[in-house]
């Protein structure tokens, strides 16, 4: 029995769940139960997939029995199954958080009944993108998750959200058009869109055509992943969405772009012809992103900039095209999905408790809510890369790989990585000092509520309606995700092993190609008809 036969369930289950949740649109409690149950079931399935792929190696399934390279293929390898598990853990935590928020606010705040089906469709799109074995299916996965994200981004249809949503939708559609353009050209050049088949056939193209296709794909995915010159849209659009939505976007959507870049670089266009531009882009992404973060006073915007900045680390690891670098990048992706999402969830809680997410207004939170302080502190230090957290381990792996490579550019990136890490610490420490440690009366624009005598977090009164400031479900799911982030540190050894193993398989390519096309498929050597020029 082929374990991959169950892989399509990771896409089908959330879609069925979305349909069911849509039917239950008038019964919010049943809708919540259905969504959470479906997502938990998907998570269990994906854990099983990860476990069996870890032992049994890459597996592929042809949908409907249409054999590759003609039919639709779904491939589970170690990288994609790891991404599936991490993304499902994160999206489950965010779903519980959002349900808690809906319950605490009595459903009057946002159309939560729309939220659940849309959210499940987003998860289905993410899973589809991770599992896709051909480029067009990857495109469809992207479109599923993007269309769901348009709805989530503009949930409630208020002025700022519509303004942010317009930017987001236009930029996303342009990147999708570019991706589709690249698919059309690749199909015109090779006559196939199956990725394993392309890995063989792209090697036979002449270098100019291949570089053109390569650049088109990289630009399209670079917009989605928010790599520096193409990252301007992200801090503009993410912060206005509801807290759980921003959290899941920050964690997952850019990482799907990174995943697509990894596949492009390892499977479709192996070799080091584009490593130099990628490394320069990674350096600029890291440094420019974090400098932007330092200028912000709103925590959500600050975190959006750190998100852009840390994408640079992943691109750096990928651009080294060595097992150590790629393995560290895989580990870093898993770490960053978890940490960035938990930070956004905590920021949502801070907004609830303190009434604002601007560090000019909030202060004294450590005294007001010590639990919130701990919840913020742990992932924040993790993001900044303080030992012994997983952020430190991931960055250490990247820096070691960079030093092992030993080119001047790699050393520049190592220096840039350390600098970015320090500046992240500075940005996060400023938030910590202002929001948590200083006295409320020292704030630039103090919040009258915070100035009042501290009261225990309990039922508050907002606009005549009783509101629970820190509902247990929201705190619980945030705590769960923070603990998962800590678990990534504790189990960093096996996880790094898995990441290195998956990097090895991705660079080797034979297991992927043979899983899709059969055991006798030829695995081409890394195609370099003309040696890459100018590689220092």
Partner 1 sequence: MSVNLTLLTVMGALYACGIYLLLERSLTRVLLGLMLLTNATNLLILTTGGYAGLAPFFNKDTAAGDYNDPLPQALILTSIVISFAVTAFMLGMIYRTWVLARQDEIQDDAEDRRVAETPSFDAEDDAEIPVETSEFPLVARSGPDDEAGTDDEDTVQAGARRIPAADAAAEEQPGSRNTSPDQEGGSK
Q: Which residues bind partner 1 (CB under 8 A)?
A: 109, 136, 140, 143, 147, 150-151, 154, 157-160, 162-167, 169-170, 173-174, 176-177, 180-181, 183-185, 187-188, 191, 236, 239, 242-243, 295-298, 301, 351, 355-358, 360-361, 430, 434, 438-439, 441-442, 444-446, 448, 451-452
Question: Considering the complex, what minimum distance in angstroms separates the CB of residue 158 from partner 1?
Answer: 6
**Nearest-angstrom CA–CA distance, 268 and 424:** 34
Q: How many CB atoms lie within 10 A of CB 269?
A: 23
Nearer CB in complex with partner 1: 162/422: 162
β 73-76/459-462 pair status: unpaired
Nearer CB in complex with partner 1: 207/236: 236
Question: Considering the complex, what minimum distance in angstroms separates the CB of residue 319 from partner 1?
Answer: 29
Residue with tokens 């960079």: 402
**CA–CA distance from 121 to each of 248, 443, 448 (Å)?**
13, 42, 41
Instruction: Give the chain's length.
Output: 536
Phi, psi (5° rounding) for residue 62? -95, 120
Question: Considering the complex, what minimum distance in angstroms separates the CB of residue 249 from partner 1?
Answer: 16
Question: Considering the complex, what minimum distance in angstroms separates the CB of residue 334 from partner 1?
Answer: 30
Nearer CB in complex with partner 1: 63/525: 63
Q: How many CB atoms lie within 10 A of CB 525?
A: 10
Question: Considering the complex, what minimum distance in angstroms separates the CB of residue 237 from partner 1?
Answer: 9
Nearer CB in complex with partner 1: 162/532: 162
Q: Locate the DSSP E strands across 346-489.
A: 459-462, 465-468
Nearer CB in complex with partner 1: 88/175: 175
Residue 69: asked if its preceding bond is cis (omega within 30°), the reply is: yes
Question: Considering the complex, what minimum distance in angstroms separates the CB of residue 413 from partner 1?
Answer: 28
Nearer CB in complex with partner 1: 41/140: 140
C-alpha atoms less than 13 angstroms from C-alpha of 121 in its C-beta half-sphere? 22
Nearer CB in complex with partner 1: 295/374: 295
Q: Which two tokens stand for residue 500?
A: 């290195």
Nearer CB in complex with partner 1: 34/302: 302
Nearer CB in complex with partner 1: 179/332: 179
Phi, psi (5° rounding) for residue 406? 75, 5
Nearer CB in complex with partner 1: 271/355: 355
Write the DSSP assignment of 179-239 as a string of letters: HHHHHHHHHHHHS--BHHHHHHHGGGS-HHHHHHHHHHHHHHHHHHHT-GGG-THHHHHGG
Contact 346, 374 (CB under 8 A): no
Question: Considering the complex, what minimum distance in angstroms separates the CB of residue 467 from partner 1?
Answer: 12
Q: Crossing angle of helices 408-431/370-384, nearest 10°?
A: 170
Contact 475, 373 (CB under 8 A): no
**Nearest-angstrom CA–CA distance, 235 and 326:** 27
Contact 223, 167 (CB under 8 A): no
Question: Considering the complex, what minimum distance in angstroms separates the CB of residue 342 from partner 1?
Answer: 19
Sign of the CA dihedral running 223, 225, 229, 235: positive
Question: Considering the complex, what minimum distance in angstroms separates the CB of residue 148 from partner 1?
Answer: 11
Question: Considering the complex, what minimum distance in angstroms separates the CB of residue 263 from partner 1?
Answer: 19
């Amino acid at each position: 029995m082929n374990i991959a036969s169950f892989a399509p369930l990771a896409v089908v289950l959330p879609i069925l769940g979305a349909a069911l949740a849509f039917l239950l649109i008038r019964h919010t409690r049943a809708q919540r139960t259905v969504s959470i149950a479906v997502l938990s079931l998907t998570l269990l399935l994906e854990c099983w997939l990860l476990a069996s792929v870890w032992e049994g190696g890459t597996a592929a399934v042809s949908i409907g029995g249409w054999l590759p390279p003609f039919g639709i293929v779904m491939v589970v390898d170690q990288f994609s199954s790891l991404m599936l598990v991490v993304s499902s853990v994160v999206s489950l935590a965010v779903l519980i958080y959002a349900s808690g928020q809906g319950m605490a606010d009595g459903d009057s705040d946002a159309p939560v009944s729309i939220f659940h089906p849309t959210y499940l469709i987003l998860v289905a799109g993410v899973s589809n993108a991770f599992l896709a074995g051909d480029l067009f299916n990857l495109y469809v996965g992207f479109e599923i998750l993007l269309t769901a994200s348009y709805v989530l981004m503009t949930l409630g249809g208020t002025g700022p959200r519509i303004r942010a949503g317009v930017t987001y939708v236009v930029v996303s559609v342009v990147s999708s058009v570019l991706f589709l353009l690249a698919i059309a050209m690749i199909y015109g050049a090779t006559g196939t869109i199956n990725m394993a088949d392309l890995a063989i056939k792209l090697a036979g193209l002449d270098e100019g055509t291949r570089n053109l296709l390569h650049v088109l794909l990289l630009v399209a995915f670079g917009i989605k992943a928010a790599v520096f010159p193409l990252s301007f849209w992200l801090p503009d659009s993410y912060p206005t969405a509801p807290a759980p939505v921003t959290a899941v976007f920050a964690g997952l959507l850019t990482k799907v772009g990174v995943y697509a870049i990894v596949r492009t670089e390892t499977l479709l266009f192996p070799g080091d012809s584009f490593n130099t531009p990628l490394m320069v882009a990674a350096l600029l992404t890291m440094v420019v992103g974090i400098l932007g973060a330092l200028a912000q006073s709103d925590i959500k915007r600050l975190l959006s900039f750190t998100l852009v900045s840390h994408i640079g680390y992943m691109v750096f690891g990928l651009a080294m095209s060595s097992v150590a670098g790629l393995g560290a990048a895989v580990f870093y992706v898993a770490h960053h999905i978890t940490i960035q999402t938990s930070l956004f969830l905590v920021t949502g809680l801070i907004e609830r408790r303190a009434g604002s997410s601007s560090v000019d207004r909030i202060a004294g939170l450590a005294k007001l809510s010590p639990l919130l302080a701990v919840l913020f502190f742990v992932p924040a230090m993790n993001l900044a890369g303080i030992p012994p957290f997983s952020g430190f381990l991931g960055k250490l792996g990247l820096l070691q790989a960079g030093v092992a490579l030993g080119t001047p550019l790699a050393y520049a990136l190592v220096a840039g990585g350390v600098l970015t890490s320090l500046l992240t610490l500075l940005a996060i420490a400023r938030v910590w000092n202002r929001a948590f440690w200083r006295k409320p009366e020292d704030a630039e624009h103090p919040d009258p509520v915070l100035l009042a005598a501290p009261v225990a977090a309990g039922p508050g009164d907002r606009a005549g309606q009783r509101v629970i400031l820190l509902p247990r479900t929201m705190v619980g799911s945030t705590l769960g995700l923070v603990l998962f982030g800590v678990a990534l540190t504790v189990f960093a050894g096996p996880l790094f092993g898995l990441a290195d193993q998956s990097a090895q398989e991705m660079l080797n390519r034979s297991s992927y190609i043979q899983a899709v096309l059969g055991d006798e498929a030829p695995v081409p050597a890394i195609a370099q008809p003309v040696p890459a020029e100018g590689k220092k």
